[in-house]
Structure 1
Amino acid sequence: MTSGYAAGAGTVGPSTKDGSRAMRIASRLIGYLPTKRNLNGTDWVNAKYPGRTYPSIAAIPWTFKQTHTIQEKKVDGVRTITVRPLLGATKSHIIYTHGGIYINELGRPHWWIIAELTKRTGAAVTVPLYRLAPESTYHEAYPYLVSVYRDVLRTAAPDDVTLMGDSAGGGLAIAQPWAFSDAGLPRPGRIVAFSPWLDVTATNPEIPKYDAVDPMLSVAGGVQAGLWWAGGDDPRTPLISPACAPDDMLATVPPTRIYQGSRDVCMADATVFRDRAVAAGADVTMKVYPGGFHVFPAFPRLPESREVYADVAAFLGRPPLP
Structure 2
Amino acid sequence: MSNVETEPQETVCPTTPPADHVEILEPRDVPLGGPRAMTVRRTLPQRQRSLIGAWCFADYYGPDDVAGSGGMDVPPHPHTGLQTVSWLFTGEIEHRDSLGSHAIIRPGAVNLMTGGLGIAHSEVSTPGTTVLHGAQLWVALPDADRNAPKAFQHHEPAPTRLDGATLSVFLGSLAGQTSPVETFTPLLGAEITLDVGATVELGLDAAYEHGVLADSAGLTVNGTDTPRSAMAYLPTATATLTLTNSTDGPARALILGGPPFEEEIVMWWNFVGRSHEDIVAAREEWMAHSARFGEVEGYAGEVQHLPAPVLPAVRIRPRANAPRSTRDT
Q: TM-score, normalised by structure 1?
A: 0.28
Q: TM-score, normalised by structure 2?
A: 0.27
